[in-house]
Amino acid sequence: MDRAVDNPTIFDTQYAALKVKDAVADRMRTACGRRPDSGNERDQACLFLHWTDDAAAIYLDTTGDSLSFRGYRAASSEAPMRESLAAALLMASGWNRRGNLLNPMCGCGTIAIEALWMAQHRAPALQRENFAFMHLACFEPGAWTRLRSEAVREFEQHKDIACRIVASDIDPAMVAATRENLALAGGTEHVECDVCDFTISLVPESAERGVILLNPPYGGRMGDPVRLRGTYLDIGGFLESHAGAYDGYVFTGNPELAEAVGLTSPNAQTFYSGRIECKLLENPRLTPEALAQFRRRDARR
C-alpha cells in the first residue's frame, strides 16, 4: 500500500493507508472467506491512495517497483539522472537511432545506455521477471509469454547497431562507473568511452545527422554557478563548431545561467528532475557578443 495524502485532517499519511488497507482486507475476507496477506513490499499486488482535499482515489499499481529501475546501475554519481528521464530526453531530441549519439559529461552513463537500448529496440524491462500485474487474478501467463517473446525477437534483430554512441567525461571515476554499468547493460562492445574534457571529446563523422546531448552541472548539488559561466560558454562554442553534422541539446536545471552567458535556444522543452524544473534547450546558439567572448577565451588557451 502506497499513498500520497494532502488533507488538513490527516497528520499521519500512514494512518490513511492503514484504514484503506483494513477496508480492502475486510471486503476480501467477506468475498473470499479469508483475509489476504499484506505488507510494505511492492513485489506483488499493490494499491495506491491519492487523496487531495476532498477528492480521494485508489489505484491498482500494475508495475510494483518503478519502471525507472532498469537493473544496470551498479555505480552512480553525485546527482544521477533517472533512467526514464534520460529516455524521455532522447525521444524529445528526435534522435532517429541511425545517426551518431554523443554524450559528453556522461556521468555514470545513463543517457548513453538508454540510447543503446533504444538503438537496439530493446524493451527497458526485458530481463525483469516480476511485475505487480502478475499477481492479479486476471493475469494471463500465455499472453505475457507471447508479448515477451515478440520483444526478445525485436531485440535480437537489432542487437548490432549501425550508429556510434560515444560517452565521455573529464572525471575518470565517472567513466569507470559508465563502463561498469555498461557491462551490466550488455553494452561494453557498443558504446565508446573516453576520459576527456567535453571540448576535445570525440566527434566522429556521421552518415546521418547525429545528436549531441549534454547534461552539465547547474549549480545545485554539483558545480559553482559563477565558475559554470565559462563552462556554459564553452558548451555554446562546442555545439557551434559541430552544428553542420549534429543537432545539439543541453539539459539544464539552470536555464537562467545559460541565458546569462548568451547561450540561447529557439525551442526549450520543460522536464522535471525530481522537483527541479529543467529545460531541454534545442540547438542553443551563442549570441554574437557571446561568440566573440568565446573566441577570445579560446584563443587564450
Give the chain's domains with CATH numbers. 2-61 (no CATH), 83-120+160-299 (3.40.50.150)
Per 3-state DSSP, what percentage of the chain is helix, strand, and coil (rounded to 5)? 35, 20, 45
- Please state, as a whole number, how many other Cβ atoms lie within 10 Å of the Cβ of residue 38: 15
232-241 mean pLDDT: 95
Give whichever of 55-59, 67-71, 170-174, 206-210 has the largest mean pLDDT: 170-174
Lowest-confidence segment of 98-102, 117-121, 249-253, 292-296 by average pLDDT: 292-296
Task: Give residue 153's pLDDT band: very low, low, confident or very high (50, 70, 90).
Answer: very high
State the pLDDT at residue 216. Answer: 93
The DSSP code for 67 is T
For 165, list phi and psi in degrees, rounded to 5. Answer: -115, 120
CA dihedral 265, 267, 272, 276 (to 10 degrees): 30
Give whichever of 75-79, 82-86, 292-296 has the largest mean pLDDT: 82-86
* pLDDT tens digit sequence for 9-44: 888 888 888 888 888 888 888 888 888 777 677 778
60-65 mean pLDDT: 85
Contact status, residue 249 vs residue 89, Cβ threshold 8 Å: yes
Task: Give residue 224's pLDDT band: very low, low, confident or very high (50, 70, 90).
Answer: low
CA angle 48, 50, 55 (to 5 degrees): 145
Lowest-confidence segment of 72-81, 145-154, 172-181 by average pLDDT: 72-81
Nearest CA to 236 among 278, 194, 298, 193? 298
CA angle 267, 268, 272 (to 5 degrees): 165
Cell of 294: 568565446
Contact status, residue 124 vs residue 70, Cβ threshold 8 Å: yes
Percent of the chain with pLDDT over 70: 97
Nearest CA to 193 among 171, 208, 215, 213? 171
Secondary structure (3-state) at 75: coil
Query: Would you say the C-alpha torsion 174, 179, 185, 188 has a positive or negative sign?
Result: positive
State the pLDDT at residue 225. Answer: 65
State the pLDDT at residue 220. Answer: 57
Q: Give the burial class of 84: count Cβ atoms within 10 A of its Cβ; 0-12 exposed, 13-18 middle, 19 or more buried.
A: middle
For 122-180, the DSSP string reads --TTTT----GGGGSTT--HHHHHHHHHHHHHHHHHT-S-SS-EEEEES-HHHHHHHHH
State the pLDDT at residue 1. Answer: 64
Nearest-angstrom CA–CA distance, 193 and 166: 6
State the pLDDT at residue 160. Answer: 94
